[in-house]
Chain A
Amino acid sequence: METGKKSILENEGFLAILSALLCIAAGLLVGYIVLLIINPAGGTEAIITILKNYMTYPSKPAALKYLGSTLVKTAPLLMCALSIQFCYQAGLFNIGAAGQYVAGAGAALYGALALGLPWYVCTLMAMAAGALFGCIVGFLKAYCNVNEVISGIMLNWIGLYLVNMLLSGVKEVASPYTITINSTNPSALLPSLGLEALFSNNKYVTIAVPLSVLIAILLWILLNKTVFGYEITATGLNKDAARYCGMREKKNLILTLIIGGMLAGLGAAFLYLSGYEQWQTTASSVPVMGFNGIAATFLGGLNPIGTIFSSYFIQHITSGGSYLDKGVYPSQISDLISAIIIYLCSFVLFFKTFIRGRAAARKERTREVKAS
């Protein structure tokens, strides 16, 4: 009875889900309006196409197959989102996840195609490359006080061109794309353990999908149940207090970015070692996976478990967007919708904090008055 009746609005989980759903609804609504402006006649149909994604296929096996494809791309997105989320917990905005992802892609493909290594070694190389990139950002931040956003963005580009150079030795003769793993070194493909059978033999569905979910759960445990998570979160919430109680903030900071880099690098391995995509060695923009991870993180309420669902959702509408008639709609329409969602997220986060703060303060005051 001490705490009295608890309003549903005070339930953290409920608030987080509510705010995420509100964002999604509002984001879709604005997206819908934009679609209507571009093409008043087909707008409704277009938004339905985006939402249906693989379900536009009438046959169940085909739908399952393309659900598989969405999941294949969800796994790397989830890893990037987790990378950003993990660093955010420590008060760091790891926009460099995109570059760490690129580094991971380069290392994984180089290992697979140039060195002919098996998948597990390639995966470890991808993680190491991502970690190295994270580590550079961490060192610069800890010892030279360089903002992680600045050094992260610069490393994104450094990474992109380094990887382009590195992989130009293993590209197809006639195209800028890297040669396929399937034809060169099948041992570098991630094992599927029979998962493809569940998705109408979509051979790109590998252990990456369940593994990414497992990692999200492990990360949740790491952050919430361990001493390391306690320190990381404390540093993120108040780094002065962390210093005051003797946490080694510099060490934690670098370690956080190393882990963040590892996660992003692993994400790249999850995509490129599934054979689903080839690297384009003439790429002149950093893959969007790392940036979409930012969106997924915030939509997921900065919670690893929530991020699983938000990553899926963002990938779902991104994949759905690709079914639109490119002659009528620009391909960025799904990016637009997720961007709107993220914008709204920050507002809802604000309202959520506000409501919670008011509720808590009111409760405390009532109690004190009663106590007198």
Chain B
Amino acid sequence: MAEEYAIEMLNITKRFPGIVANDNITLQLKKGEIHALLGENGAGKSTLMSVLFGLYQAEEGIIKKDGREVKIMDPNDANALGIGMVHQHFKLVQCFTVLDNIILGVETTKHGILQKDEARKKVMALSDKYGLKVDPDAKIEDITVGMQQRTEILKMLYRDNEILIFDEPTAVLTPAEIDELMQIMKNLAAEGKSILFISHKLQEIIMVADRCTVLRRGKYIATVNVPESTGKELSSMMVGRDVKLVADKEDKTPGDVILKVENMTVASRLHNNNAVKNVSFEVRESEIVCIAGIDGNGQTELIYGLSGLEPIVSGKITLSGKDISRASVRERSRAGMSHIPEDRHKHGLILDYSLAYNMVLQRYFEPQFRSGMGFLKRKEIFSYADKLIEQYDVRSGQGAATRVRSMSGGNQQKAIIARELDKDPKLLLAVQPTRGLDVGAIEYIHSQLIAQRDEGHAVLLVSLELEEVLSISDRILVMYEGEIVGELDPKKTKRDELGLYMAGAKRQSPGEMNTSGGEPGGNR
């Protein structure tokens, strides 16, 4: 081989007004290697990739392809150099077939008429060569997320891209699909493709990557050989200090039943079927019950039904002995339910309100914050917000007066958590509370959830992250197609087994499940 590196980004510096997003970063991608790019949110990964894609121009530094310096002025240049990317959110046309999506933009035509046969041959050959199983005639909207991703990969291969960038590719996949993807990536690398793998999941990096470049706050930290490194080492490089990868928690004995759900059914907003089908379970004091499952198996609707955002079709919900099946959102909230919503921008925050106004979103109507005449007590609201900001270490530009939109995702989430926990809830619904956050923030949120449990509150956690499910829950309920298909003890459950339940390959009979959380066999 004449040149060792497929792509070199040497001493890249990219400044935005007031900030250096990339400060003298060097990334060298060897031919045929899988190179991970690791860093927290805001570490500069996206900026670096945008520079590589020609979306931004670096102020300093050069890019070399196969040892020759190249100028990448726009994404077309990047394509011409054989650089392809699988985005975190797929760029596929939903109502087109897999084949149509793959050839979109580079169609072969004859006198202006599409010639798909040749394309089909090439796609199928690629599919066989790399083990990318797809049905070329299926429509995108009908196929699994895993197959959609394989379509995206085929798109890059069809364009003869040599350098493949995977941006957080595993976020949407099931454990089995993740394993499959890892294998595909290894196959691709073995065939001489060079892969850049952007991720903050250490375990996957250790599984698949050859080398790893770590960024932190726009600075280059190190490039390490992954086989010679440990997860702990990588994570402390990423965060800049030691972090606990597994949350510490002591055993607790669950107390009284706080939430009791009996035969709850919730309609789907998307289709005519019910999204949650006849589900029953309990959550007790001092326990974290986790609803595990792949995205879109009814978890969202389950929480909507519990929180009152959507009416339930049938069934009964009891909170500390009080029937709240038909209660309004406000009544449930007043009865002791807190809710960290799945989508913090859609539900959790009013982005154009100040931080202070967001902090009182659940209690602005209390006498503490409103006068008898219906006026807001601005001073009290701000001093209350200041207290929460201090207590939960929420960082923002101008304190309580900061517009929430300008805050970082982690601090926005902290603000929601501060607001919801300060209500001192009996039951906390936490839906993917760590989604999109960096390791430091995740650690913080996990410790807060555990603290809630230790104080005797009930926590119902919905999570898509297996590691999270296994490390902080006391009991796991697996949801598959709107039903609870298994109840598992995190201490006795392996990752693979949980994956089988999540994928619907395995399920317990109702008798095996003991969704009340008492001792096995100790049914009342």
Contacts and interface: CB of A to CB of B under 8 A. Distances in A.
Interface of A: 2-3, 225-230, 233-234, 237-238, 240-248, 357-358, 360-369, 371-372
B217 A244 contact: no
B256 interface: no
Contacts of A357: 405-406
A149 B18 CA distance: 43
B19 A365 contact: yes
A238 B42 contact: no
A241 B408 contact: no
B376 A227 contact: yes
A237 B353 contact: yes
Interface of B: 16-20, 42, 217-218, 240, 307-309, 328-333, 339, 341, 346-353, 357, 361-362, 364-365, 370, 373-376, 378, 395-399, 402-403, 405-408
B396 A364 contact: yes
A137 B521 CA distance: 58
Given A3-B398, A227-B376, A244 B339 contact: yes
Given A243-B329, A362-B16, A225 B351 contact: no
B397 A230 contact: no
Contacts of B330: 245-248
Contacts of B398: 2-3
A234 B357 CA distance: 10
Contacts of B361: 234, 241, 245
B374 A246 contact: no
B397 A367 contact: yes
A2 B370 CA distance: 29
22 contacts: A2-B398, A3-B397, A225-B378, A226-B374, A227-B365, A230-B376, A234-B350, A237-B352, A238-B351, A241-B348, A242-B350, A244-B309, A245-B361, A246-B330, A246-B332, A363-B397, A364-B397, A364-B407, A364-B408, A365-B18, A365-B19, A368-B42
Contacts of A371: 395
Contacts of A229: 376
A127 to B, nearest CB: 21
Nearest to A244: B347
B350 A360 contact: no
Contacts of A247: 330
Contacts of B375: 225-227
B406 A228 contact: no
Contacts of B17: 358, 362
Given A245-B333, A364-B397, A365-B18, A227 B374 contact: yes
Given A2-B398, A362-B17, A241 B347 contact: yes
Given A244-B339, A362-B18, A363-B397, A368 B408 contact: yes
B19 A362 contact: yes
A372 B347 contact: no
A237 B406 contact: no
A245 B329 contact: yes
A365 B47 CA distance: 14
A246 B407 contact: no
B171 to A, nearest CB: 23
Contacts of B341: 244
